Structure 1
């Protein structure tokens, strides 16, 4: 893999990782602990924040894919790239719509328990986080 392609892919992967860590593992759980934040208010904020995060993730995923595709990647880089992109796609196509339907119901006044889709999203975030760490390290190691 060329040094410049590897450096770009690594930078994009670590930027993506930082955003996931900051939003999914810091902002999301902490907002519900802030004084005066109700569940409907927290859900409204969360939907807005995660929509923005997912758009940024999609842009970074494209940047990683382009950098990897133009750089004669190793098999490990190719597999890791595919893995994080597939996890993101599953989140966006399968899990987020279910979460949005559930939050619509809560915002309409229903009192619902935590959904399985929420647990699935968290599990996928953990997988994506591990994949992004591995991808960033692997691509940057190829850059030197």
Structure 2
């Protein structure tokens, strides 16, 4: 089960890096903000769905095996961060993107710090996944 936990951890890390830190910022260099938000909603809904599945598989693999203390704590941290993102931050991001889409531009919509929270939590999740992945090797 440790091998499964390691594979899931590295797969999850790769997906987060590719989407959150590559695709998300690059799309706004090509499309306007409302279009980018529309694309982002679809992409992040899909990413978060896959992340939830990977988190469940990771938990099962960690609980079923003997991953060691470091891998267990780091894996649990990544799962906890995902839960905070989905329950605590995503609703604010959805409200903000709804307001921007309704207004037609970001300048006419109320400001929000939810995006900064989401990115900060992504960084914490990336660190947790790296630590878990290395500990599982």
TM category (shorter chain) comes to: over 0.9
Q: Specify which of 3, 9, 14 is matched with residue 13 of structure 1.
A: 9
What TM-score does the superposition give when structure 2 sets the normalisation length? 0.94
Please give the alpha-carbon distance, in whole angstroms, between the structure 2 residues aligned to 1:40 and 1:77: 40
Please give the alpha-carbon distance, in whole angstroms, between the structure 2 residues aligned to 1:11 and 1:113: 41
Per-residue CA deviation, residues 4-26 of structure 1 (Å, 9 max, x unaligned), is x1111010000000000000000
Please give the alpha-carbon distance, in whole angstroms, between the structure 2 residues aligned to 1:40 and 1:61: 31
Gaps of 5+ in 2: none
Count of aligned pairs? 134
Gaps of 5+ in 1: none
Please give the alpha-carbon distance, in whole angstroms, between the structure 1 residues aligned to 2:40 and 2:15: 14
* Residues 1-144 of structure 1: pairs in structure 2 closer than 5 A: 5-34=1-30, 37-109=31-103, 111-112=108-109, 115-140=112-137
Greater relative contact order, per chain length (Cα 8 Å cut-off, separation 6+): 1
TM superposition shift of 1:112: 3.2
After TM superposition, the runs of 4+ consecutive aligned structure 1 residues lying more than 6 A away are none
TM superposition shift of 1:72: 2.5
Please give the alpha-carbon distance, in whole angstroms, between the structure 2 residues aligned to 1:116 and 1:12: 31
TM superposition shift of 1:114: 5.3
What TM-score does the superposition give when structure 1 sets the normalisation length? 0.89
TM superposition shift of 1:113: 6.3
**Larger deviation, residues 72-81 vs 122-131:** 72-81
